[in-house]
Amino acid sequence: MSDEFLKAARQEIQQELDELERITMQCNNDEHILMNSQSIKTHLHKIKGLAPMMGQEKIGELAKTSDAILRHIMSNGPLPGSCFIIIKTVEDMGKILDGLSIYDLSNFKKQVHDKFPQIPEL
Phi/psi for 100 (5° steps) reads: -95, 0
Residues 44-74: b if buried by 16+ CB within 10 A, e if exposed:
bebbbebbbebebebbbbbbbbbbbbbebbe
Domains and CATH numbers, the chain: 3-115 (1.20.120)
Q: What is the pTM of this model?
A: 0.93
- Tens-digit pLDDT profile for residues 69-104: 999 999 999 999 999 999 999 999 999 999 987 888
Listing DSSP states for 19-78 in one string gives HHHHHHTT--SHHHHHHTHHHHHHHHHHHHHHHHHTT-HHHHHHHHHHHHHHHHHHHH--
In whole angstroms, what separates CA 55 from the centre of its chain? 16
Tens of pLDDT along 9-64?
Answer: 999 999 999 999 999 999 999 999 999 999 999 999 999 999 999 999 999 999 99
| Cα–Cα distance for residue pair 63/66, rounded to 1 Å | 5
